[in-house]
Structure 1
Amino acid sequence: MTDGFIRVAAAIPRVKVADVAFNTQEIESMMVCAEGQGVEVLCFPELCLTSYSCQDLFFQQLLLEEAENALFKILELSRNLGLVAIVGVPYSYQGMLFNCAAVVQGGKLLGLIPKTFIPNHQEFYEKRWFSSSTMLSGEHIVRFCGQYVPIGRHQLFCLNDVTFGIEICEDLWAPTPPSSHLAIKGAEIIFNLSASNDLIGKYQYVRDLVIGQSARCHCAYVYTSCGYGESTQDIVFGGKSFIAENGRILAEGTRFSFRQELTVAEIDVERLRAERRRNTFFAKSYEMLASNDRCNIVDIESAGFSESSFALTRKINPLPFVPREEDLDFRCQEILSIQSQGLATRIAHTKAQSVVIGVSGGLDSTLALMVCTHAFDCLGLNRKGIVGVTMPGFGTTERTYNNSIRLMNALGITIREINISDAVMLHFRDIGHDPQKHDVVYENAQARERTQILMDISHQVGGFVVGTGDLSELALGWATYNGDHMSMYAVNSSVPKTLVKHLVRWVAVNVADEESRKTILDIVDTPISPELLPADSEGNIKQITEDLVGPYELHDFFLYYVLRYGFRPKKIFRMALRAFDGKGETQTYDEATIAKWLEVFFRRFFAQQFKRSCLPDGPKVGSCSISPRGDWRMPPDAVSEEWIKECRSLLQQTLSSEEPSNTKA
């Protein structure tokens, strides 16, 4: 396991019915292929050594002995490989025949796991040949392939600090799958050796089962079902393979293939552990299990996979907060509805006559204003009850000012314009500050003046102030304490900047009328800025937020994995390199750039917690929130030293790797 990732694979070999020698060659070739791809655990289909569809040939002693001989050969091959292989094999014991998964590594047979739920309905007649694992009560040690090995359904295997369990085909379909028990006992990955024939609609049903079980158990689920070569006497096996993680498919194989199929993916085990730690029902489920229902844990020696040679191939979304294109319409409508209903409920509860909002011509205030209009429309209130206040100051540009006025006019709200320059200059005189000194006092005085104006106007009109700040700004502390940091209800407080941009664009295209659409789209294209410093000589925005604190798409990426999963900097760095590799729609960032802004993120995230400790109310819209009353409870005096130390180590490594070598040829 490297940075919490383990590479696994689901194999679908070609088979010939009862031709054990051919089947063994196929399995061996796929083991060698998987080893070459850095796979650590490789799972084959049910009864792959003999083929699943042998029927009454399973009663033949020759077939059973040839299967054991074949497993001998696989054990010999495994001595020269590092991976763990899970192979389907029949095993005869105490007058019964069991449909087993054999776990193989380094020449050792580590365990036999029999199938528990034996199907005997419709096209399946397995009870004719096989017995259930429930026939084996207690612990059993058997001799197979010249080795003593545990057999039973309650077995877990631990490889490089990763624990996995195994079930077979029909086990997944049962009301109480063995994998649920195994997951509660500690299995983080479940492997399923299957032989599932193809029918109309069955593929999607099985896919949904795999997704659902991985979500329910907060585990990864690796499923592989036999394909080409199985008997087509009455049914067809098209070959199915899925690798799912916590309710999401990471990879799936090609169906109806006439070739070997190897489906490979990296499982993020640390992500699964983070999910389990958050959910109290996992601990409760463990408590409810019978104390005598124990699992045998088999420790597997590390194969010595090199962390430095591990190259992440898993696709990682660089914009984890942004819905996928196919879900964008539904998700954006859902988010806007959550925000609007939250605000509408607060308006109704307080019996407010109006709401007051500062409109700057930027992304955040535009989204918040759209939430206000939607809430008023839902309540059947006149939009004139929305008081939009534009407050030009020292850094306000013509572009943002004009956009704010046009937008408010188009939406039909009440407009107020109050220039803050004179009031701020008077304040500077009162406190003895030189207005030519463009420092933090210069900037924050403007933000606090604007907040004071909004608060006082809200009292004038019998309403309350709607906050516009977003999740990204609050995470970085990019807000003036008791300035734009404060409001009576903050509708954007759990919406990150990358999502704000997509939401505002979606509103422009799908909700706004023709008059406001052009204005909103121009706002989307406007550089992000607090406009607290004077514009340049041509009247353009001079103070660009992302030049100062870093790209929001990077910070939102960091934020997601810190809040959602608690990943350490080293792992986030590795994932960011993969996510921002230039193969998607986002910008490419090199190692040094990512390491630099990662340190900035952690430094600011820790240092600015005091602002988040007293946030106003606001609706949670996604899985991440920093409300001090809900999802994020952090002491403001926490020390960031360990996180910063790791970030600086990453930066030093990247700078060292970029230095030219002094070695002479």
Structure 2
Amino acid sequence: MRQGFVKVAAVTPKIKVADTQYNTKAICKELDLAQKAGAKVIVCPELCITGYTCGDLFLQEVLLDGALNALSDIKNHTKDEDYICFVGLPIVFRQKLYNVAAVVSKGEILGLVPKSNIPNYSEFYESRHFTPGQEDLGCYEMDKERIPFGTDILFQCAELPFLKIGVEICEDLWTVNPPSIRHTMAGASLIVNLSASDEITGKDFYRQNLVSGQSARLLCGYVYADAGEGESSTDLVFAGHNIIAENGTVLVESKRFENEMIVADIDLKRMQSERIRITTFKALDENCYTLVPFSLKVEETKLNRFFNSTPFVPAQKSDRDRRCEEILSIQSMGLKKRLEHTNCKKAVIGISGGLDSTLALLVTVRAFDLLGLSHKGIIAVTMPCFGTTDRTYNNAVNLIRQLGADFKEINIMEAVKLHFRDIGHDSNIHDVTYENAQARERTQILMNIANKTGGMVIGTGDMSELALGWATYNGDHMSMYGVNSSVPKTLVRHLVQYFADVCQDEKLTNILIDVLNTPVSPELLPPKDGEISQKTEDIVGPYELHDFYLYYVMRFGYEPSKIYRIAKLAFKDLYTEEIILKWLKIFYQRFFSQQFKRSCLPDGPKVGTVAVSPRGDLRMPSDGCVTLWKQDLEKLSVIKN
């Protein structure tokens, strides 16, 4: 419940057709198991109290009375329990029979929601028995209680107001205009579907796509509970294909033909953030719906969901390779357009032997190939100075030559020393002046070579560096087109690895592998015993942590305490809680204080859902205060101490 997490369950009891007493016990057993698993929202299949396959037995008064008695027993079973559940049964209302979802919580029937769309094609003949539900609200009387009856009802949690639950039943999802569209526009953040979808070959893929696609379109959580073993096999088989999805992602689905209960943690605040961000999400006047309140205890949900420690990087190699190819294409096509528009036949790029400049050079080569231009038009400049090691220098030289670019070497050591004398700086003091003077000297050289040759300076800095401000203002911060500007550091590595895997050039592959194995460093301080002395991640922290923080800050606007909570789960085998909190504090401090560098970024292509361009995804004031975010983190420090 806290921080918007709600545990939900889809259950498939093994029933007996038309045996409402047996089915009641089976349903209550599943409710108990789901509650033991921590579920606060529990969804059962369509007509599970009687069975979906009763046929003309639905016209028998004995069965209908048995269903009502069963519902009363289920209601009593929930009296002292802390959850809301949805169970299916047939109910006669105003002299018509309806296929209904009964909503039950803490010994009370909160509402009865009828099925809107009644199928009567192929194997389905529901119109023989059932009437379509209507939007108009009615009241059903049961046990001297007046129960709301209608399709336009949302069930809202008093303690977590954004938990508003809308109901649809099986076929409702498969129609041209599913009720869930209207429900979510009226405020529903979670849709539950009580279903009895028979199994035929290939239908499971279609069903999964429907559920995940609907949750994506409607920016909601979706719980789909399907009928399974126990239904009549006269003509059909039901597989119990339960699915829980969130904003287009299937969190969990059951094995078919096993009547399996599934449980997942829905992140409601993620849905809320998406609806705020996406301005084309339209809302209805909530007054057109009936809001029925229910109550749940506020407690910390024990999270069982998976959080990828590298959210920018797909876990499966096939997906990762496809993503890498797509990103390289976006980067190179962006540069191709800029070169075409400016009628520019030359590109100037500084090559350090590190990952970022390597990726930028590979992208530039691709763009030149797309334009049919010779690689000799790429002026690749290596500019060794105080911190350059033999390893990075040799990798830079070998990479340039292997790709056939125009190689230039300009040692900037004397120029920087002269500059130190001009400004009165002692070169033995290895401070920020010592470091940044080198970066600015390199950028000056690249810009002037570009002017001399009619070329374009290609920026090499990545999005992670921009998020942390780990770039010298008007140094490596500046270029004429930044091809890596929306590529996070954790993804840069995979893009270079992908290029190494597919380039079919053994020498180039070996160079790229050594670049990948080189520690990340700006190499602005003198080496120690010939080795890199200045490792970026020792100073600003692990990039895999910072990229994780950046993703959830930018993509969903999570508060620091929530990011800390999920980071502990994602990195539980890699970093201690103290380390995670330390670098999270540093992330926020740098993210806010370094916005002025992002406010004047050069152009560059957006490649993913997160970007920091001041013209696109991040319209952030350079003098915004980090106070509230720091206060949220300080609460964590107090709790930990």
TM-score (norm 1): 0.94
Match of 2:288 among 285, 288, 294: 294
Aligned residue type for 1:378: L
Residue in structure 2 matched with residue 127 of structure 1 by the alignment: 127
C-alpha offsets along residues 343-387 of structure 1, whole Å, 9 cap, x if unaligned? Answer: 011111111120000000000000000001000011000000000
Residue in structure 2 matched with residue 550 of structure 1 by the alignment: 541
Give distance in 1, aligned partners of 2:472 and 2:447: 15
Residue in structure 1 matched with residue 555 of structure 2 by the alignment: 564
Matches within 5 A, 1:574-593: 574-582=565-573, 588-593=574-579
Match of 1:150 among 143, 148, 151: 148
Q: CA RMSD in A?
A: 1.2
Give distance in 2, aligned partners of 1:132 and 1:501: 56
* Larger CA deviation: 206-215 vs 138-147: 138-147
Matches within 5 A, 1:169-568: 169-257=170-258, 260-283=259-282, 286=283, 294-301=288-295, 303-307=296-300, 310-325=301-316, 326-511=318-503, 513-536=505-528, 538-568=529-559
Please report how far the alpha carbon of residue 512 of structure 1 lies from its aligned counterpart in structure 2 after TM superposition.
Answer: 5.3
Asked if structure 1 preserves the Cα contact closer than 8 Å seen for 2:8 and 2:41, the reply is yes
Residue in structure 2 matched with residue 635 of structure 1 by the alignment: 621
SS of residue in 2 equivalent to 1:280: coil
* Larger CA deviation: 413-422 vs 645-654: 645-654
Matches within 5 A, 1:47-62: 47-62=47-62
SS of residue in 1 equivalent to 2:117: coil
C-alpha offsets along residues 163-214 of structure 1, whole Å, 9 cap, x if unaligned? Answer: 1100000000110000000011111110000000000111111111111111
Asked if structure 2 preserves the Cα contact closer than 8 Å seen for 1:363 and 1:523, the reply is yes
Give distance in 2, aligned partners of 1:508 and 1:164: 49
Corresponding residue pairs, total: 637
C-alpha offsets along residues 583-615 of structure 1, whole Å, 9 cap, x if unaligned? Answer: xxxxx1121111111000000000000000000
C-alpha offsets along residues 559-591 of structure 1, whole Å, 9 cap, x if unaligned? Answer: 001111100001111111111122xxxxx1121
Please report how far the alpha carbon of residue 101 of structure 1 lies from its aligned counterpart in structure 2 after TM superposition.
Answer: 0.4
Aligned residue type for 2:485: S
| TM-aligned CA distance change 1:145 to 1:534, over 3 Å | farther
Give distance in 1, aligned partners of 2:3 and 2:632: 13
Aligned residue type for 1:467: G
| TM-aligned CA distance change 1:292 to 1:633, over 3 Å | closer
Task: Point out where structure 2 has 5 or more consecutive residues left out of the alignment.
Answer: none
Please report how far the alpha carbon of residue 17 of structure 1 lies from its aligned counterpart in structure 2 after TM superposition.
Answer: 0.3
Asked if structure 1 preserves the Cα contact closer than 8 Å seen for 2:309 and 2:571, the reply is yes
C-alpha offsets along residues 80-114 of structure 1, whole Å, 9 cap, x if unaligned? Answer: 21011111011111110110001111111101000
Give distance in 2, aligned partners of 1:90 and 1:406: 75
Asked if structure 2 preserves the Cα contact closer than 8 Å seen for 1:599 and 1:648, the reply is no
Please report how far the alpha carbon of residue 483 of structure 1 lies from its aligned counterpart in structure 2 after TM superposition.
Answer: 0.3
Residue in structure 1 matched with residue 632 of structure 2 by the alignment: 646
TM-score (norm 2): 0.98
Please report how far the alpha carbon of residue 271 of structure 1 lies from its aligned counterpart in structure 2 after TM superposition.
Answer: 1.0
Please report how far the alpha carbon of residue 648 of structure 1 lies from its aligned counterpart in structure 2 after TM superposition.
Answer: 2.6
SS of residue in 1 equivalent to 2:191: strand
Asked if structure 1 preserves the Cα contact closer than 8 Å seen for 2:387 and 2:524, the reply is yes
Give distance in 2, aligned partners of 1:647 and 1:397: 39
| TM-aligned CA distance change 1:512 to 1:435, over 3 Å | farther
- Identical amino acids, percent of aligned pairs: 53
Asked if structure 2 preserves the Cα contact closer than 8 Å seen for 1:210 and 1:223, the reply is yes
| TM-aligned CA distance change 1:17 to 1:554, over 3 Å | same
Give distance in 1, aligned partners of 2:43 and 2:137: 24
Residue in structure 2 matched with residue 118 of structure 1 by the alignment: 118
Give distance in 1, aligned partners of 2:532 and 2:321: 32
Task: Point out where structure 1 has 5 or more consecutive residues left out of the alignment.
Answer: 583-587, 657-665
Give distance in 2, aligned partners of 1:365 and 1:173: 50
Give distance in 1, aligned partners of 2:290 and 2:302: 33
Please report how far the alpha carbon of residue 248 of structure 1 lies from its aligned counterpart in structure 2 after TM superposition.
Answer: 1.0
Give distance in 2, aligned partners of 1:534 and 1:42: 62
Give distance in 2, aligned partners of 1:473 and 1:373: 23
* Larger CA deviation: 465-474 vs 214-223: 214-223
SS of residue in 1 equivalent to 2:407: strand
Aligned residue type for 2:623: D
Give distance in 1, aligned partners of 2:60 and 2:52: 14
SS of residue in 2 equivalent to 1:315: coil
Asked if structure 2 preserves the Cα contact closer than 8 Å seen for 1:68 and 1:145, the reply is no
Aligned residue type for 2:561: K
Aligned residue type for 1:294: C
Please report how far the alpha carbon of residue 261 of structure 1 lies from its aligned counterpart in structure 2 after TM superposition.
Answer: 1.7
Please report how far the alpha carbon of residue 623 of structure 1 lies from its aligned counterpart in structure 2 after TM superposition.
Answer: 0.5
Please report how far the alpha carbon of residue 232 of structure 1 lies from its aligned counterpart in structure 2 after TM superposition.
Answer: 0.3
Please report how far the alpha carbon of residue 272 of structure 1 lies from its aligned counterpart in structure 2 after TM superposition.
Answer: 1.1
Asked if structure 1 preserves the Cα contact closer than 8 Å seen for 2:186 and 2:286, the reply is no
Give distance in 1, aligned partners of 2:170 and 2:3: 31
Give distance in 1, aligned partners of 2:105 and 2:33: 16
SS of residue in 2 equivalent to 1:164: strand
